[in-house]
Structure 1
Amino acid sequence: MFAGLSAFPLTPMNESGIDEAAFVRLVERLAGAGVDSIGVLGSTGNYAYLTRAERARIVQLAVQHAGTVPVIAGIGALRTRAVQELAEDAQQAGAAGVLLAPVSYQKLSDDEVFGLYRDVTGTLSVPLCVYDNPGTTHFTFSDELHGRIAGLPQVASIKIPGVPDDAEAARARIERLRAQLPPHLTIGVSGDALAARGLNAGCEAWYSVTGGLFPQTALAITRAARSGDAHRALQLSGRLQPMWELFRQYGSLRVTATAAELLGLAEAPSLPLPLKTLAGSDRQRLAEWLAEPALT
């Protein structure tokens, strides 16, 4: 479950609520493609904008429509109590694992973050992936803290935000982190533009926004890297450079939601206000690019 391609779909929604039909279509599309796991309620899953009841419903729908593909559910929230409640909801809905970022309003200390994971894993019955996402949480994990958290029960994987662009530096980064971790724990890369380099450097998993919309394309990159064909993985990833450029400019959520609308996989608007999808020339640029490559 915490290896290979973990595809993170958009949660299409508007001010009236979740577009359940669109979400189910996305989940079924991923299951049909044969992804290794489906990660719901990540950043692209709009978890921060949903109520507890809405989040529980998303996990229920995902589990019901994922077939035999395991579902990993995001449980990040501001308070430990809320995280524990979300973890219980996810487990009751049948999630095979959970994903936890140290969400905060006040800047957290290392001891506070460790305490969060200690308290949550102490009552958890499914494996947990540590979500290291400084771009949204504004918290930076040290390798030492990762090592401390990795010793807690149920911790099974770390989702890191990316690796250096240089191949040798990327491999050295993964080796330094792995030296702090027990052998059973996997390292997964996000930051999709650098995912191929992360996989080539030794990451076992790709926690992928791109995979949530283009599972076959992301699977091809993952399988090339995991089979040792580093050149092929980089070549396939390079074809997505126009999308990576938009990710850097607008963030992956806005670009992914725009692409889903353009492909007819979600109705507009598909984001909660005040967020908006791309408009004008950038939307047209994305539409033209989507019409060219064989993205699936």
Structure 2
Amino acid sequence: MFRGLSAFPLTPTTESGIDEQAFSTLVSRLAAAGVESIGALGSTGGYAYLTREQRARVAALAVEAADGVPVMIGIGALRTKQVLELAEDAQKAGASAVLLAPMTYQALTEDEVFGLYEDVTRELSVPLCVYDNPATTHVKFTDELHGRIAQLPNVAAIKIPPVPDDPAQAKARIDALRALIPDTVTIGASGDFAAANGLNAGCEAWYSVVGGLFPTTALAITRAAQAGNDAEATALSERLEPLWQLFRRYGSLRVMSAAAEQLGLAEDPNLPRPLQALPLPARHELAAALTSTGLTA
């Protein structure tokens, strides 16, 4: 399941709780579109803002709405004990895999990061994807640390930060990491604006924010790269530059939240406080970007 397009949907949330109907609808749309997997409770899914009970409920809803499409559930938390509890909940819900980012308040040493994955993988019965997202977690993985973690049981994939824009540098980045990990561990692109570069450079998967709301568009980019049509994949991604610009300025979560609202797929508000919706001028920019890029359904 760690190949192709893995689409990450929003978890519409208010201070009253999860909008279960809206979330299930978002997941059902992804399954119907033919994505390879669905990543629930990633950063776009707002996992860090939800209680254990809410996360367990979202995991169950995701598996049910996915209708057989493999579901990966985010299990990141501050304490190892909490991560283990969330992993148990995800497995009970029927998750096909789990996604783990090392959340922290105090800076973690490499040995502490490795120890987290060692403790968690020892208890798992499903594969794990390592979530390397320094922009959010402020934990920086070295390739050597990835190499150590990739040797642990049940580690099946790594979700890496955006690769360089230059194709040769992007390929060198992927090749350097691949040289240190087993052949059984795949590498997946993230940072949607750089995902086509990552796929063209050899990433086997795209863990996609935009795919969580616009799976057909994300699938077109993924399929072009899988077929070796690098130029087509790049061109399809470049057409989305108005959206990528908004991602860079406001963050992909806020942009996808507003886009889901504009498409009638989520109510306003749909982000947990203290997160706030896009300001009105940015919403107008988003509406124009969706129209100019054809992202209206």
In structure 2, the residue matched to 1:246 is 246
Q: Give 2:31's aligned residue.
A: 31
Letter in 2 for 1:9: P
Q: Does 1:174 align with 2:167?
A: no
Letter in 2 for 1:192: D
| Aligned-pair CA distance for 1:89 | 0.2
Q: Which residue of 2 aligns with 1:191?
A: 191
Greater shift after overlay, 244-253 or 282-291? 282-291
Give the 5 Å matches for 1:64-143. Answer: 64-143=64-143
Which of 123-132 and 274-283 deviates more? Answer: 274-283
Does the residue aligned with 1:73 lie in a helix, a strand or coil? strand
Residue matched to 1:40 = 40
Maintained 8 Å contact 2:8/2:208: yes
2-side partners of 1:292 and 1:135: how far apart? 29
Q: TM-score normalized by structure 2?
A: 0.99
Give the match's secondary structure for 1:130.
strand
Q: Is the 8 A contact 2:243 2:290 kept in 1?
A: no
Once the two structures are TM-superposed, the CA of residue 277 in structure 1 deviates from its matched residue by 1.4
**Offset, 1:27:** 0.3
What is the SS of the residue equivalent to 2:141? coil
Moved more, 271-280 or 57-66: 271-280
Aligned counterpart, 1:57: 57
Where does the alignment leave 5 or more consecutive residues of structure 2 unmatched?
none
SS in 1 for 2:245: helix
AA partner of residue 205 (structure 2) = A
**Structural RMSD (CA):** 0.7
3-state SS in 2 of match to 1:122? helix
1:137 Cα offset (Å): 0.8
* 1:150 lines up with 2:150 in the alignment: yes
Quote how far apart the aligned CAs of 1:291 are. Answer: 2.5
Matched ranges for 1:214-293 at <5 A? 214-293=214-293
| Cα separation, 1, equivalents of 2:267 and 2:212 | 16
Could you report, residue by residue, the CA deviation over 1:155-186 in whole angstroms, capped at 9, with x for unpaired residues? 00000011000000000000000000001110
Structure 1 unaligned regions, length at least 5 = none
Q: Contact between 2:8 and 2:40, CA under 8 Å: does it hold in 1?
A: yes
Distance in 1, matches of 2:250 and 2:62, equals: 27
1:1-16 equivalences under 5 Å are 1-16=1-16
- Distance in 2 (alpha carbons) for counterparts of 1:118 and 1:289: 44
